[in-house]
Structure 1
Amino acid sequence: MSLPRPFGRALCAMVTPFTAAGALDPDAAGALAARLVAEGCDGLVLNGTTGESPTTSDAEKAELVRVVRAAVGDGVPLLAGVGTADTRHTVELAREAERAGTDGLLVVTPYYSRPPQAAVEAHFRRVADAVGIPLVLYDIPARTGTRIEPETLLRLAEHPRIAGVKDCADDLLASAKLIARTGLAYYSGSEELNLPLCAVGGAGYVSTVANVAPRQMRAPIDAFDRGQTAEAARLHGLTLDLVELMMASGLPGAVTAKALLGLPVREPLQPAGREAADGLRAAHEALVKASAAD
C-alpha cells in the first residue's frame, strides 16, 4: 500500500529572512527557498513558528508565499501557516494564502483560550470549508495548551480537505494508531522522531533543522525508503547533537536557525549569544564533516 505524501517527504519549516532594518527581505527569501529545494527539500512550509509568524503582518505572509512560489516554481509543494487564536482571522489568512499560490495550509490549534474539543473541531472545519485546498492540522499542545485528541482527529479525517497532521504531540502510540486507522498524512514536527514516525507509516517531516542541514535531515529517510534500516538509524543518529542544540537548548528554533544562517530575528526574539552561536556552529560543522565522510 502506498502511503499518502501530499506535500512531499522532506519539508523545511523555512525561516523568514528580514533586512537589517527589520523589513521582510523578499530577495533573500527567494534565494533561500531555491537553495533549500536544490539541496533536497521537496516541500517548504512558510509562515510557521520558525518563520516567526507571530510577528509578521498579514501582508508580509502573503508576499512571502508569492515570492517563494516565483522562486521555486509550481512543482514544489508549499504549505502556508495560517493558524491564529481567532477563527475568523484564520479563515481570512487561509483565503489570502490560497490566492497567493500555496498548495496547502498549515493550521494550528487555537491557542491561549484553550477551547474544548468540540470547538477545536468546529474551528478546523470552518477553515476547511472556506477554501479549496487541503489542510494539514498542526498538533503542538506544548505551545497551544490544547491537544487535538485522537477521537477528534478521527472525525476530522473524514473531511475531504483535511489531508494531514504536523505531529508535535510526542505520542508515538497515538500517532501510529491514527496512521493505521485514517488516510491522514502524518509529518513529524519533532526531528528526533522523524525516523521513528516514518517507521510506523509517517509521510515524512517538517524540519527547522533542514534550514541549515537539508541533505543531512533527508538522508535517514531516504535510506529507510531503500530498505536500509540500519543505515537509516546511523544517519539519524548523526543529526541528533545538532537537533538537540537547535531545538532543545532553551532557544527558539527560529533563533538557532538564523544564528547559523547569519540572519536577524524580529523582536521579541533576540539573537543567540556568542557562546550558543559558537556551539551551534561546532555541531553543524561536525555533522557536515561526518556526512561528507560517507
Structure 2
Amino acid sequence: MTTARSSAAPSAAPFGRTLCAMITPFTEEGALDLDGARRLADRLVTEGCDGLVLSGTTGESPTTTDAEKAALVTAVRDAVGERASIVAGVGTFDTRHTVELALAAEKAGADGLLVVSPYYSRPPQDALEAHFREVADASGLPLVLYDIPGRTGTRIEPETVIRLAEHPRIVAVKDCSYDFLGTQKVLSRTELAYYAGCDEHNLALYAVGAAGYVSTVANVVPGQLRAVLDAFDAGEPAGAARLQQRATSLIELTMSSGLPGAVTVKGLLNALGLPAGPVRAPLRPAGREAVDGLLAAYEQLVAV
C-alpha cells in the first residue's frame, strides 16, 4: 500500500524527522550544567529524538556565553555520539558574531547550524539574504534558516527563502512564520527541508511535505510526539490526527499560556525530577499554578 507520506515527502530530511529544541540545563546557582545536559540529551535520543537543536530560543541562547554554547555542543556530542544529529543555534543580530559562533560550533562537533534572522535591527530583505549567505559561506556545515518573525520583527519572505535555497549549504528551514501558504509555496519550488517550529503544526506541515519538526514540547514527551509522525508514515493519517489532538492540551499550556517555552518546559522538567534547573534573568520561573496545570496535562497525555 502506498502511504500518503510517500507522495509528499521531500528529497531528504538532513537532520532526521524528530528534533527537540533542547533546553539548556543550569545548576541552582545559575551555572551551565553540562552533566545535566548530557543526561537530558541521552534521554531525549533514547526516547525518540533523531536530533537535538541546542542554543535556540528554548535553549535561552541570548543569556549564554560563546564559551558556554561551544561547551554545550561538546558535552551533548559526547552523550549522544552518532545516534542523533546536533544543530547548534548561532544566530545573533551581528553578522560577524554569528560567523564566529558558526566556526566555534563546527569545531565543537555540530552537524548543522540554526541561524535566526537578525533581530532588533530589522534588516530589509536584501540585507537579510546577504547575512545568511555570508554565514553559509563561512563554514562547511549545512545551515537551517530560522524564520520566527514574532520574536525577530523580520520575516524571511518566501521569495527570499527561494533565492537562498540556491546556496548549496542552505538546506532547511525551521518554520515559525505561521504562514501556511507561504511555506507550501517554498516547498513546491525548492528542495529545502522544512521543520515545523510550532508544535501545533507538527502534523499539518508534515502532511504537506515537511521533513519533520523542531519541538519544544519534545523536551518532556519525545516518544508521544514521534508517534504522531510514525502513525502518518504507517499510512494511518486518522490515527496520527488523534495522537496530535491528544497532545493539544500540553502543547497549549507549554507554548500559549503567556509564558515562554523555556519557562514552562523547565518548570515541568523540574517537577518531574529531570535535568533543567532555573531560567536565567530576565526570565522568571513558572509559578505553582502553571506547573500544576502542566503536570496535569502531562499525566493525562502519558496515561493514554
Q: TM-score, normalised by structure 1?
A: 0.98
CA distance in 1, matches of 2:216, 2:72: 17
Q: Name segments (4+ residues, structure 1) moved above 6 Å.
A: none
Q: For residue 233 of structure 1, what is the aligned residue in structure 2?
A: 241
State yes or no: 1:24 paired with 2:38.
no
Aligned residue type for 1:12:
C
Q: Write the distance in 1 (CA, Å) between the matches of 2:301 and 2:84.
A: 26
**Residues paired across the two proteins, number:** 290
Structure 1 equivalent of residue 205 of structure 2: 197
Matched, 1:167 2:181: no
2:267 to 259, 263, 280: 259
Once residues 124 and 106 of structure 2 are traced to their aligned partners in structure 1, the CA distance between those partners, rounded to angstroms, is 28
> Counterpart of 1:186?
194
Counterpart Cα distance in 2 of 1:76 and 1:235: 24
Question: 2:49 matched to which residue of 1?
Answer: 41
In the alignment, is residue 286 of structure 1 matched against residue 288 of structure 2? Answer: no
Q: Which residue of 1 aligns with 2:109?
A: 101
SS of equivalent to 2:280: coil
1:223 to 222, 231, 241: 231
**Map of 1:247 onto structure 2:** 255
CA distance in 2, matches of 1:72, 1:235: 27
CA distance in 2, matches of 1:232, 1:75: 25
Aligned to 1:187, what secondary structure does the other structure show?
strand
Please, which runs of 5 or more residues in structure 1 have no aligned partner?
none
Q: CA deviation at 1:180?
A: 1.3
SS at match of 1:137: strand
**Aligned residue in 1 for 2:282:** 268
- Aligned partner of residue 141 in structure 2, secondary structure: coil
**Displacement of 1:75:** 3.4
Letter in 2 for 1:16: T
SS in 1 for 2:247: helix
Give the C-alpha shift of residue 265 in structure 1.
1.0
Secondary structure at the aligned position of 1:111 is classed as: coil
**Counterpart mapping for 1:107-126 below 5 A:** 107-126=115-134
1:225-244 deviation digits (Å, cap 9, x = unpaired): 11100000000000000000
2:179 maps to amino acid: D
Kept in 1, the 8 Å contact 2:146–2:174? The answer is yes
CA distance in structure 1 between the aligned counterparts of 2:225 and 2:279, rounded to whole angstroms: 23
Kindly indicate whether the alpha-carbon contact (under 8 Å) linking 2:217 and 2:254 is maintained by their aligned counterparts in 1: yes
Superposed displacement of residue 282, structure 1: 0.5
Deviations 1:240-273 (A, max 9, x none): 0000000000000000000011121111111100
Whichever residue aligns with residue 270 of structure 1, its letter is R
Match of 1:83 in 2: 91
Per-residue CA deviation, residues 10-59 of structure 1 (Å, 9 max, x unaligned), is: 00000000001100011010000000000000100000010110100000
User: Alpha-carbon deviations, 1:204-230, whole Å to 9, x = none?
Assistant: 000010000111111111100111000
The residue that corresponds to 1:135 in the other structure is: 143
Q: Which residue type is aligned with residue 300 of structure 2?
A: A
Letter in 2 for 1:183: E
1:208 partnered with 2:216: yes
Structure 2: runs of 5+ lacking an equivalent: 1-6, 271-276
SS in structure 2 of the partner of residue 169 of structure 1 = coil
CA distance, structure 2, for counterparts of residue 82 and residue 94 of structure 1: 6
In structure 2, what is the Cα distance between the partners aligned to 1:62 and 1:174? 34
Letter aligned with residue 182 of structure 1: T
Return the letter of the residue paired with 1:44: L
- Output one character per residue of 1:76-121: Cα deviation in whole Å (capped at 9) or x when no partner: 1110000000000000000000000000000000001110000000
CA RMSD, aligned part only?
0.8
Percent identity over the alignment is: 69
Give 1:6's match in structure 2, choosing from 3, 14, 19.
14
SS in 2 for 1:246: helix
Establish whether residue 53 from structure 1 lines up as the match of residue 67 from structure 2.
no
